[in-house]
Structure 1
Amino acid sequence: MRDTYDAVVIGGGPAGLNGALMLARSRRSVLVVDAGEPRNAPADAVHGLFALDGTPPAELRARGRAEVERYGGHVTTGSVVGVTPGFTVTLADGRRIGARRLLVTTGLTDVLPDIGGLRERWGRDAVHCPYCHGWEVRDRAIGVLATSPMGIHQAMMFRQLSDDVVLFTADPPTGEQAVELRARGIRVVPGEVAALEIADDRITGVRLKDGTVVPRDAVAVATYLRARVDFLEPLGLKAVPHPGGFGEHIPAAPDGQTDVPGVWVAGNVTDLTAQVGASAAAGALAGARINGDLIAEETRQAVAAAS
């Protein structure tokens, strides 16, 4: 490792590794700092990714790291605990690294509702995204837990994958929404969900707080999405509520540039709904923009030196 890099990428998921790849291929010195806590760790495979559908997440990251290193980039394991203007990146183990530019791709945390058994089954037969895991629960008896405003939307999406979808909600919909649910054959069960029934390492039902158990084979639930960016606060960057009301993110321009000069973001840290492919593409764009920004700075310096 060096003391200073052209760019330090904080986060080693698809966005970070693809951004680092673009920078390394542009002959930039780049370091990826990865805490090794990917959001998709519970999942068996990545889905919906062209030519790589079904690849285990750990394998995808390992291949990405190898590609960055093949072009001279560096990858290290560590947690960033602070960033100061300038930029100096401080890791939990005390290492301090200088950077001319930052690309933040730390992703987000799924804040799960307080429902017994949900965390144990998360990423298996308790899922959130119909595109990431919907095929894997197709044709099962699916329960959609409406713990957020996304509940009805999720019910409609998972109805595309199964004829047997039940919406569990403490606030039964009325009016047009109720008509639409009935028309699609989605049953509504009123009441608050207490826990998932689990037997033989699988979900067997949804238990309400009144004790009622509705047999189900899988559940879908929208989580609250929180960007992992506390370390950016010294730079004046802080996660703000997403307009959709389902999480917190760092707003940015389409190329990932933030309001703080020299800092870019990509992936779920700014786009809460981006899947692996979209996150990787955003990282590539941000990496290219960072290289262009460095070229512009170096050109100004060369002109000044020559005059």
Structure 2
Amino acid sequence: MGEMTGTTGTRKSERYDVVVVGAGAAGLNAALVLGRARRRVAVVDAGEPRNAPAAHMHGYLSRDGMPPAALLAVGREEVARYGVDLIDARVEHVEHVEHVESGEAGPAAPGFVVHLAGGPVLHARRVVIATGLRDGLPELPGLAERWGHDVLHCPYCHAWEVRDRPLGVLGTAPGAVNQALLLRQWSADVVLLAHTLVLTDAERERLAARDVRVVEGRIVRLVSDDGRLRGVELATGQVVPREAVFVFPQPVPRDALLFGLDCARDDNGWVTTDRTGRTSHPGVWAVGNVADPRAQVVTAAGTGAAAAFALDHDLAAEEVDRAVERYRASGAALPA
């Protein structure tokens, strides 16, 4: 394959300085900075954004309340203006190779082959993994259908929209107690549905002091009517009326590509990076939720920018070193 067609409608070389995998806020912001640095960049995206169920995003200065899909659409338009290729495809794996032909770097430069589903490949000097995460939800009937609407997870993302309404916190994870205590500042009516949690006396005291009511009993399902959450049904048959509930999902990084590159991980299994997103594997950066489950959209965008700055310096250093090698090999005399 000699050329590829991206969603921009342009045809460009399959050889890139940087291939970014994932077109969320982190990946697109990395591509934006690199495109403005006149780097040859491709962004490959499988079209599965984590925040697709959400109607709006919040906490992003100048973009507060913007639909997530609208942000990504604007971002794609912006990076395309700088010659970035946008390729709608799934990356099957990334292979480290010792020789990638790429302009200034010369034929001996190490790099990567990015294998796309269906057979095409991209060659890159560096790669950025910005594939995000998926939210592992408790297996409770009725929960997944309301996810992102009135079943929520982040108070800073969603609590303002449900302020002063009857709220519930599902006791499906140890963090539920702190989540209930925190939500009390948005509503005077917060209930912790204990479910399988065994609360300590200290936790019960903190909840009582905060006027958070505890309802015992195993949750069997969430009850909805006319497209709205109505309450939470317990094994006893009692339905606790709630207009919105919060849950602690289990964040699962979409990091299979990093496994293939044998990147170092922490004790919890998450890839480790430096402050710029650089992994232990030379030439590989990981940004956004794939490396940090707590990163909101604005934070993820910032990590993409930080990685792009570091990447450009890394590429430039390689180019200077190879230029010096060629200069010395030419026998040219140093300028007086």
Task: Give the TM-score, by structure 2 length.
Answer: 0.87
Could you tell me whether the CA contact under 8 Å between 2:20 and 2:41 is conserved in 1?
yes
Could you tell me whether the CA contact under 8 Å between 2:166 and 2:189 is conserved in 1?
yes
The Cα of 1:54 is off from its aligned counterpart by 0.9
Secondary structure of 1:72's partner? coil
The Cα of 1:231 is off from its aligned counterpart by 2.6
The equivalent residue for 2:129 is 104
Could you tell me whether the CA contact under 8 Å between 2:176 and 2:247 is conserved in 1?
yes
The equivalent residue for 2:138 is 113
The Cα of 1:226 is off from its aligned counterpart by 0.7
Matches within 5 A, 1:1-307: 1-86=12-97, 87-169=112-194, 170-237=196-263, 242=268, 249-307=270-328
Gaps of 5+ in 1: 243-247
Q: Distance in 2 between matches of 1:210 and 1:32?
A: 51
- The Cα RMSD (Å) is 1.3
- Residues matched between the structures, number: 302
The Cα of 1:139 is off from its aligned counterpart by 1.1
Q: Distance in 1 between matches of 2:15 and 2:82?
A: 18
Q: Percent identity?
A: 47
Worse-superposed segment, 132-141 or 5-14: 132-141
The Cα of 1:140 is off from its aligned counterpart by 1.1
Could you tell me whether the CA contact under 8 Å between 2:173 and 2:197 is conserved in 1?
no
Could you tell me whether the CA contact under 8 Å between 2:172 and 2:197 is conserved in 1?
no
The Cα of 1:225 is off from its aligned counterpart by 0.3
Could you tell me whether the CA contact under 8 Å between 1:78 and 1:93 is conserved in 2?
no
Could you tell me whether the CA contact under 8 Å between 1:172 and 1:190 is conserved in 2?
no
Q: 1:193 to 1:34 in 2, by over 3 A?
A: same
Secondary structure of 2:257's partner? helix
The Cα of 1:13 is off from its aligned counterpart by 0.3
The Cα of 1:234 is off from its aligned counterpart by 2.3
Secondary structure of 2:156's partner? helix
Q: Distance in 2 between matches of 1:149 and 1:95?
A: 45
Task: Give the TM-score, by structure 1 length.
Answer: 0.95
Amino acid at match of 2:258: L
The Cα of 1:240 is off from its aligned counterpart by 5.6
Amino acid at match of 1:31: A
Q: 1:36 to 1:218 in 2, by over 3 A?
A: same
Amino acid at match of 1:255: T
Could you tell me whether the CA contact under 8 Å between 1:226 and 1:249 is conserved in 2?
no
Q: Distance in 1 between matches of 2:264 and 2:322?
A: 32
The equivalent residue for 1:245 is none
Could you tell me whether the CA contact under 8 Å between 2:264 and 2:272 is conserved in 1?
no
The Cα of 1:206 is off from its aligned counterpart by 0.4
The Cα of 1:239 is off from its aligned counterpart by 6.3
